[in-house]
Amino acid sequence: MKGRIDALSSPDIEKEFNALILSGERLIVSDLSEVNYISSAGLRVFLGIQKQLKKAGGQIVLFRPIKSVLDVFRISGLADMFRIVSTMEEIGESVRSEAVSPEVVSKEVEGIVIEYIKLAADKGSLFIAGSQDNLARAAYTENDVITVNPADMQFGAGLGTFGDKYEDYNNLFGESMVINGNFFFYPAVKRPVADFMINSDVDAKFTYKFLHGFGFNGPYQHILTFNGKEGFVELDALVNAIFDITNANILGIALLAESKGLLGMHLKKVPIIEQRPDNGKDIFDPSNFPEWIDFPTEPGDVNHIIAGTGIAVKDKSLMSPEKRMVISEGSSFHIHAGIFEKGPLSKQLNDFEKELKRILTELRISKVQHILGKSRFSSGMAGIIELKE
């Protein structure tokens, strides 16, 4: 940066900062040695970017600001919000202070760099809620609804909703997920809007309703970060890489990632018997598919943060027939994800649970999708729960 940072130049500077954040940078060193003036408009940009980075475990470091510029930061009360350095050695200290703890294990698996910590914990449990038998025929009735107490489902995914009376919620089922006790769903209606219930808002009478789905509970055995060594990371490859760091056959996954092109799908109508196709064919038949399934052929939601959950399996033959049914033919996982607004994501392992809570409770969600293996991410974090067979 050179010269003046004022109302004229600050929009371009803000764009440069945002471009760095979107590219994955979390520690930004701003060389102010040739800046001779900064106005309140310029300060506002630095403050806004600093707040954004702090939420994701990063920061702006101010390098060698001249006295008059530094005085503006001090007079406005903002100097304490920034690390200010004057030598390259101090920059190195800033980088080292952001580094992960030494107990972290680093591994590269087919071009994906994974850093992870192992936690001593017992395996978790997986259970099934409802059945997919009536899905294709759109033949669900009130008798098929499974009621789940929130205390019994820490994580989960399926075709769900909430409500008290069947006649009030029967047309509101949709792609749903439960992440750390927080429930999100995307009703299969003409103009869907994602709805949710944060666990702190749940009262004793609140329950989830599922036509089909699964849930799992348990502590994390691994927390990891990932990024592509060259290029983006596809979900298929990420799941395979995660199995490279564990001996478990079934994994529960809580995922945070920055999207670089999401491929997902969701139902457009609720498959209850009152809405079954008039032609007598199932909803996946080519004659009915466009009316029932939203299935984009091009990736979307680039640069959005996604938070998702689901299960992955190494060898489906070792699962019970009931549990095996929740994994589609030709796939090794079943993951639902919420698409949240754009923004930076922390890359610090120790921040995973705090970052998960921040995304779920502070950012706006636009939809929930069943995500597919060709979905691409720049980087992200995950909590892994090894599940009993």
**DSSP string of 147-170?**
EE-GGG-SEEEEEEEE-SSHHHHT
Task: Please tell me the distance from the alpha carbon of residue 174 to that of residue 184, in angstroms, as a whole number.
Answer: 10
Note the pLDDT of residue 102. 44
**For residue 238, which phi and psi values (nearest 5 degrees)?**
-65, -45
Total-model pTM: 0.77
Encoding tokens for residue 128? 């099934």
**For residue 313, which phi and psi values (nearest 5 degrees)?**
-135, 140
Note the pLDDT of residue 204. 64
Show the 3-state SS of 38-100: ECHHHHHHHHHHHHHHHHCCCEEEEECCCHHHHHHHHHCCCHHHCEEECCHHHHHHHHHHCCC
Encoding tokens for residue 299? 């990736």
Chain segment 286-336, per-residue pLDDT in tens: 999 999 999 998 999 999 999 999 999 999 999 999 999 999 988 999 999
Tell me the one-letter amino acid at 92: G
**266 and 369 Cβ atoms separated by less than 8 Å:** yes
Mind listing the pLDDT tens digit of every residue in the chain (389 residues)?
A: 788 898 888 899 998 888 888 777 878 898 998 998 898 888 898 898 888 887 777 888 998 899 888 888 888 888 888 888 888 777 666 555 554 454 889 999 989 999 999 998 889 999 999 999 999 999 999 999 999 999 899 999 999 999 999 999 999 999 999 999 999 999 999 999 999 998 856 666 789 999 999 999 999 999 999 999 888 999 999 999 999 999 999 999 999 999 999 999 999 999 999 999 999 999 999 999 999 999 998 999 999 999 999 999 999 999 999 999 999 988 999 999 999 999 889 888 988 999 999 999 999 999 999 999 999 999 999 999 999 97
**140 and 212 Cβ atoms separated by less than 8 Å:** no
Note the pLDDT of residue 73. 86
Instruction: Using alpha carbons, select from 42, 89, 45 the residue that is nearest to residue 64.
Output: 89
316 secondary structure, DSSP code: G
Token pair 């995950």 is found at 382
Task: Please tell me the distance from the alpha carbon of residue 157 to that of residue 176, in angstroms, as a whole number.
Answer: 6
Encoding tokens for residue 181? 């006790």
Instruction: Using alpha carbons, select from 180, 231, 186 the residue that is nearest to residue 383.
Output: 180
Task: Give the DSSP H/E element, type plus range, for residue 220.
Answer: none
Please state whether beta strands 34-38 and 2-5 pair in parallel, antiparallel, or not at all (unpaired).
parallel
Task: Give the DSSP H/E element, type plus range, for residue 307.
Answer: strand 304-313
Instruction: Using alpha carbons, select from 104, 64, 103 the residue that is nearest to residue 85.
Output: 64
Note the pLDDT of residue 23. 72
Token pair 């929009």 is found at 11
HSE (side-chain half, CA atoms, 13 Å) at 18: 11
Domains and CATH numbers, the chain: 2-97 (3.30.750.24), 105-387 (3.30.1330.80)
Q: Nearest 5 degrees, angle CA 45-CA 51-CA 57? A: 135
